[in-house]
Chains A and B, each alone.
Chain A
Amino acid sequence: KAGVTQTPRYLIKTRGQQVTLSCSPISGHRSVSWYQQTPGQGLQFLFEYFSETQRNKGNFPGRFSGRQFSNSRSEMNVSTLELGDSALYLCASSSAAGTETQYFGPGTRLLVL
């Protein structure tokens, strides 16, 4: 089985721009979660989707949004980028969030200048 894939792997943007990141889960997995990793804050939960429904959202401003498609692929969008949004964005998938192993993708490294 192919693992979790994330595109693009690297991005450089300037302040004020917006960005869309994509995540393709392992085939058959219906739960997709997003996390932000920074040296100062560690790994922080952004949101979780299951069958196209957002079940939870972390403590991030409204500039961070996401969605899940019927094939379980997910995208997250960050509008009006700030310098502090520079981070590694990780996506995880599982067949049933909470009860089974969560598998992470390689991440998208976002640098905001």
Chain B
Amino acid sequence: KQEVTQIPAALSVPEGENLVLNCSFTDSAIYNLQWFRQDPGKGLTSLLLIQSSQREQTSGRLNASLDKSSGRSTLYIAASQPGDSATYLCAVFRMDSSYKLIFGSGTRLLVRP
């Protein structure tokens, strides 16, 4: 059974700091891994998608890496800003034709001005 874990559950950093969010999964048979951002009471915003054959993806100040063999992904946020405050979720899409994302429980990030 695929399980996705995100550590830490919450993180508070001062503005300008570079930070890393972690995601681990138990089964390496995945099609891809996706990182999302969720603001309170809102839907999910897709940040980055990494296909299983890729090692990393970058978008602006965000960089996500994937190591399938160890079952880990990291989301790196450079020069954090108060507007980055949100919950960050990772999700994996399994290779078993289940057509569903399996989500971690998220990391709640607060960037202090």
> Which residue in B34, B99, B100, B105 is a CB contact (below 8 Å) of A101?
B34
Q: How far is the CA of A37 from the CA of B39 in the complex (A)?
A: 13
Closest to A108 in B: B43
Q: Which residues of A contact B44 (CB under 8 A)?
A: 90, 92, 104
Q: Which residues of A contact B34 (CB under 8 A)?
A: 101-102
Q: Which residues of A contact B99 (CB under 8 A)?
A: 31, 33, 48, 50, 55-56, 97-98
- Secondary structure class of chain B's binding surface, majority of residues: strand
Interface size on A, residues (CB 8 A): 28
B62 to chain A, nearest CB (A): 14
Q: How far is the CA of A31 from the CA of B101 in the complex (A)?
A: 13
Q: How far is the CA of A101 from the CA of B44 in the complex (A)?
A: 12
Q: How far is the CA of A100 from the CA of B93 in the complex (A)?
A: 10
Which residues of B, 14-43, contact A by the 8 Å Cβ criterion? 31-32, 34, 36, 41-43
Q: How far is the CA of A45 from the CA of B4 in the complex (A)?
A: 14
Q: C-beta contact mask, A63-103 vs B, less than 8 Å → 1, else 0?
A: 00000000000000000000000001010100001111111
Residues of chain B whose beta carbon lies under 8 Å from any beta carbon of chain A: 31-32, 34, 36, 41-46, 49, 51, 89, 91, 93, 97-106
Residues of chain A whose beta carbon lies under 8 Å from any beta carbon of chain B: 4, 6, 31, 33, 35, 42-43, 45, 48, 50, 55-56, 58, 88, 90, 92, 97-107, 109
